[in-house]
Amino acid sequence: MFSFFKRFKGSKESDNAPEESQTAPEALAPEPAVEAPQAPVAPSAPRPVAPVSADTQPAAAASINEPEPEAPALETVEIVPPPMQDASAKRSWLTRLKTGLSKTSSSLTGIFVGAKIDEDLYEELETALLMSDAGVEATEFLLESLREKVRTERLTDPQQVKAALRTLLIDLLKPLEKSLMLGRAQPLVVMIAGVNGAGKTTSIGKLAKHLQSFDQSVLLAAGDTFRAAAREQLAIWGQRNNVTVVSQESGDPAAVIYDAVGAARARKIDVMMADTAGRLPTQLHLMEELRKVKRVIGKAQDGAPHEVLLVIDANTGQNGLAQVKAFDDALGLTGLIVTKLDGTAKGGILAAIARQRPIPVYFIGVGEKVEDLQPFSAEEFSDALLGG
């Protein structure tokens, strides 16, 4: 089943505008232009986010000088289940997930067909897990646990062994199954990072649509100021979802995101997501720039960013694990988005992450459509991986 989103019930904090005494960012570029959505809003579309323009910004700035009323105390925490999917949509997602992981699952499921429970079975299983990029540590852990389970429960049928492996895999992946919590701050600032080509910008667009289904207003910041295509791509997603995109040609990424946080606070936006330029962990000067962006976001709003997400491409296998470790060491990651699981033979990478760096996997993607990005479920993933 889908993960649950949490939001705080009651009045939202009213201290959403930055104060005049706020520290300026380390390097502030000229104020960015804002690309407002062009497409008309359909009656059934989520509530629009009005564009931020040069005309409206002075008014926002003026409101900063007004005395701030005391924020009411938050009363209770309410669990809000995700919007219900009809049965056909749910089946469609599970089918896409199983199809996407078929290259990984084919090597695992065939082992148990007409097999004897002997050393050959364990050797074949070890090879299949390593080939799926589960990694040495996770593979050894699963095999040792499986041997013990077979012995203590006196399993004699290969399908029983397969069911035991499924249980062990779910237990291993369960710590990664965690929800994104909404309503902790206004705006909730989400910083997105990753290497080139991992699918950051596309994931941001899909996630914006997902958040709107929870009646969350969204603002996007095009922090990839070096690549015109990235800004254009984000602008297209902004038009599709009818949300404002703050962008600027060249300039300092930290300054663009700083201004976007200020605009989101002034306009009482629920979630502000910041795109960043792709970079390899070995590019130390670019990793330092990313740390600077995070520091500047903290100056724009206390406690921000509230989420630091890394987008990884499942096809990179063990390189994906190396990326998780490097970005986590640099930024302190709070969650992962795993993309391009469709067609990969390396779906076991989540087992490696769970064993070596168990950072929550908020979403997984198995295609290009908006509905192809869904919350991670350990049980659904394990069933797809083992052909359950």
> Rounded distance, CA 150 to CA 122, Å?
11
- Do residues 108 and 115 lie in contact, with contact meaning Cβ atoms separated by under 8 Å? no
What integer pLDDT is reported at residue 1 of this predicted model?
A: 41
CATH of 87-175, one of 2.60.40.420, 1.10.40.30, 3.20.20.10, 1.20.120.140: 1.20.120.140
- Do residues 137 and 131 lie in contact, with contact meaning Cβ atoms separated by under 8 Å? no
> Rounded distance, CA 161 to CA 151, Å?
11
Binding residue per annotation — 95? no
Binding residue per annotation — 275? yes
Paired sense of beta strands 271-276 and 77-80, if any = unpaired
Using CA atoms, how far residue 204 sits from 13, 186, 219, 243, 291, in Å, is 25, 18, 11, 12, 20
Paired sense of beta strands 307-313 and 34-35, if any = unpaired
What integer pLDDT is reported at residue 113 of this predicted model?
A: 85
Binding residue per annotation — 89? no
Binding residue per annotation — 242? no
Binding residue per annotation — 229? no
Residue limits of CATH 1.20.120.140 in the chain: 87-175
The token duo for 134 is: 């589960």
Residue limits of CATH 3.40.50.300 in the chain: 183-378
CA angle 341, 343, 122 (to 5 degrees): 85
The fold of the 183-378 domain, in CATH, is: Rossmann fold (3.40.50)
Using CA atoms, how far residue 155 sits from 15, 117, 122, 145, 160, in Å, is 61, 9, 14, 13, 6
Binding residue per annotation — 276? yes
Helix locations, 179-307, DSSP H:
200-212, 228-241, 253-266, 284-300
Binding residue per annotation — 244? no
CA atoms within 13 A on the CB side of 1: 7
What integer pLDDT is reported at residue 367 of this predicted model?
A: 83
The token duo for 234 is: 């984000």
What integer pLDDT is reported at residue 194 of this predicted model?
A: 94
What integer pLDDT is reported at residue 59 of this predicted model?
A: 38
Paired sense of beta strands 34-35 and 244-246, if any = antiparallel
> Rounded distance, CA 104 to CA 76, Å?
44
Question: How does DSSP classify residue 369?
Answer: S
Binding residue per annotation — 196? yes
The alpha carbon of 253 is separated from its chain's Cα centroid by a whole number of angstroms, namely 20
Cβ neighbours of residue 25 under 8 Å, at least 6 residues apart? 252, 254, 255, 258, 296, 299, 300
Using CA atoms, how far residue 101 sits from 254, 365, 382, in Å, is 38, 11, 10
Binding residue per annotation — 315? no
Binding residue per annotation — 227? no
Binding residue per annotation — 340? yes
Binding residue per annotation — 342? yes
- In the numeric block, the tokens 């646990």 are attached to 145
The alpha carbon of 105 is separated from its chain's Cα centroid by a whole number of angstroms, namely 24
User: Which residues of the chain fall short of a pLDDT of 50?
Assistant: 1-81
In this structure, the number of other CB atoms found within 10 A of the CB of residue 13 comes to 15
What integer pLDDT is reported at residue 84 of this predicted model?
A: 52
